[in-house]
Structure 1
């Protein structure tokens, strides 16, 4: 194993050294001689200038179409291979031209005089070269022995070599042509190799071409190039190279799109975006038009700029159990770049208006790029200061407090400690995107307090709960981002409190069971609780009666006093008082029926529901459709539960739904029932409804269903009505 690692280390060093040597060589070629690309016509025996790659520079140097190109760097122009074969003066440090009137001009060619060439063929490639090398070193140091890391490094370095060799290749340098010819296709084959290996890592089937066949066709490229170099009649190497590039790009895109459609994995979607962004524009704007023999939409060096968009978020890739952890970093970069772009655009536009005649496009572009980078850096610095002093962080997945609320809400359904920990594991997998963690119980002391995260190089520890005798430890086998750590700390505090609460509940249940087994009913705290609940219900009922029936009775008493003092009693007045008494009696009867439906005990649930539905149809302004099946339970309490649920649902429809149609369906199941409610009313946002103080009816329904271990599903949205599904299964064991 040590030998393998040593060999891998030597192989990696060789790759880096080769990359540096080749990169330095092609950059030196590009820096040594400026690129000019002047097209000439040699049919008359002399190279007559017919077109320019940089027309602005030609105009500045007083080079015009029809001028004769005499010498390049002191040598006759006709002696250059590029003039003889391609009718093209590729590069030069010095030119001698002859005007049609016989004037001779000597022109000194410098990079600074051709800013477009300086940026596109020297500065940007140099920046890309250094940055790629730094990123590759970082990835290699992060985890040296991981095959996926090695493939990413090779992909990045090969793309970089392909880009920085464009200058040397454009100048006709043979080594430069070989490098770009090999690397432009090799980087794609390496990328597909990476995908094949990554699919195996994710246990996803690879139904595509085996990578060894793609590596097998690569040697054809240098052969075509060398044949073209030494055979003036062979001119298809460039077209073959670009055609192979196009096929490989389209094949890689096909792999990514079909695999994402098949798996729906966010990781594959991210890889697809990272690949398509730099390669597809280069393919569409330059490669395909060049293959078809048309004028490219963009020049080759301009189209190659898209390779700069190869996401350097590879810096943030952590090659471990969760290989791609870049969504967080990409979302930050997108957010900060958007803010910086519009701020910079505003500043650059202001400069153009103020200094319109003094600033060239090149200078404005330089100021734009520099200002953009400064803005982005400032946003990152602000983020660090916010986290250090205010504990405010950027969230890649929306408001992390909202995410935390959702996690707590889901975990609140746990009924015991094991179920709670299982839900906690689920939240970690969903939020952190990793299954590389364990939750263990130990008895040894640990140097961290409950809820505190302790991070090491490749391990994160968190003490979930400490009872003194036992400690519950979470171990994650990689480091976490600030956002993830803060989210985990807050959720761990909730888990710790929940475990404490569960233990208290378990102790209370054990105490009650012990009292039951010993036939001891002396449980003062329970008696006090029941007495408090009873008194609270009495108080509510007293308030209701005081505000309604009692006030009506006092009003009738006052009217009778007036009537008694009258010398003549009118029949209409007596009848009016009688009507008021009947209404009060009716209201009192409804209160009594609500408290204890008399038909339920006398005639059963079916008749009680029928009576309730009739009353609702009289009161409601919607069409009520019902389908009530006969249900029977061993536990008579469930009959009252069904009645109360129907009562609450219909009351909610009358008071809040604003519906024109309401349907209610009660279906009997084996040892249980299903209750379905639907309306076409105004609907609502469920999250807002459940937190609203006006949703006591819905919350009462939910709590009643939960009390009997039932399931309830509520779906609704604005102007889409409300749909409620309730299912309760009778607990036969408790009745046996």
Structure 2
């Protein structure tokens, strides 16, 4: 462990030294970017890479540069053009012969100060904090930590090399040229190791040393540029091709394996690590390879890498940043439509207006982003305006939704039918809606129509609509819809009405069932109804059976053992004292079982005291440390403290039996109308789908207790990922 930490701090020191060297290069002077051309013995200003120089210091093309940092520009044989990248002072002579001394500081270039110095330093510090945090808190559970640490620090170093590259520093240029390749290879190495850790295999997964072969190739080519400057363009194309391959490979390998396995961790890797590289691929790498022209400069594209630590922190601070499956499916759906619309428009522009390929590509990206954004905006506007936008006259799904919403929670069938008639009349804007109950076989005004009307069917008879709302063995519930000025329902309204009737029929069945249960409870002359007695009896017998089994397997067996031993010690009394102590321990165990059945401190001294004792007892039995944060919460119901105690007790019992954890954390916090209970450990975890199939008594009992109080419970776990449980209950 000491050697590993020693290596860690060694890497940190090396990266920090290189980073501060780059910062030292940048801090010396701002980037001015003046292109000068030699005419005779004088250097004339030919162009400005940094246009700010013209506005700030009133210099123009054609002016003569006499001195740079109080020294004349050196004349080199064969060189007639050069670029002044950085300096602290200039002596300029304009076309009229007037000399001007210019002192240059970062006060004149605040944007450079922020962009090239402040932002990279902050980024590097955040990356260091993340690495140190993982070392001390998550290293044991964070697979391939060393590779991930190198990845984070290399991203920070690449971002810090931007300014040094602009200042024409050799080290900065080397890091900037190869840093992108190093970052992607380290990221892929981390992915490959992590997939191996998850025991996920695929034919597309390649060995990491092949990737490092690409890194060696790019590094050698970059060094050769100093010897053979002519290979610069070819080398740049090669580096861009390597980056395009690595980003595309990382994206495809994670997507393919996620589609196959549905592992949630792979989506988080896509979102946090691969996502920030996609703009670099689309806005710089691909346009340079295809059109030899970028849409966004490489320097600006690197800003997207700032998202990596931010996204990592967000996903760590929240258990789930969002419903990942839902968001991914929505992005896929919106992206598909955006791609189709953008492609059609751009193909039309390309052939009709004969625009250039790069302009077509830019137009496609612009339309794709705008269309994708507008679909999301439309979604939000539609949701915000749903009450106005989705009226019954235009949106029939909302018509069904609003009608059902108004008839829910009706205590009886009569009230449900009355409420349904009122709401339906209002929704359809008609004068009369009535529900009649007919006994099957009775003579009515239209016997054939009613007898032949099946459940859910709606027909127009004599200027009104009738429909079969519900049907039993001996009765039919018929709804009649009519209007004083006549009525005509469109096809879509009839379909919606038929679907609504099917829903209401189920409501009537459920309401009748509840009414019958209430009647049994109210009118039973022999106490509770039979079904309730049976339920309570079965539950009681289950509890008795479980308790009997536990006592039989522990206390009873130990007592039988002592009886046999006492039979032996009748001759030899030296063992009596030893067995007396064993009986005392046995008595303590039995007392513990009794306390498990009814915790005495809970009723007498409150929830916090009882839980503290429980934590101490469990820590003595287990090999893990319990971190607990228990708020003193005020609950109106006297049953909820017992519910909290039993739930935590079940969590800790499961941890003792199965988790193999070293740390457990339990947090109980008060809410406005209830409480929230959070548990997590760093144990072996489990496959929740297999646990559900096996119907685990511990987790199932915990769920049933929570559901009995209309609470919410969320369980998150996977093999070697620990267990996380979140429970919310409102009074």
TM-score (norm 1): 0.45
Q: Which one has a bigger Cα radius of gyration?
A: 1
TM-score (norm 2): 0.46
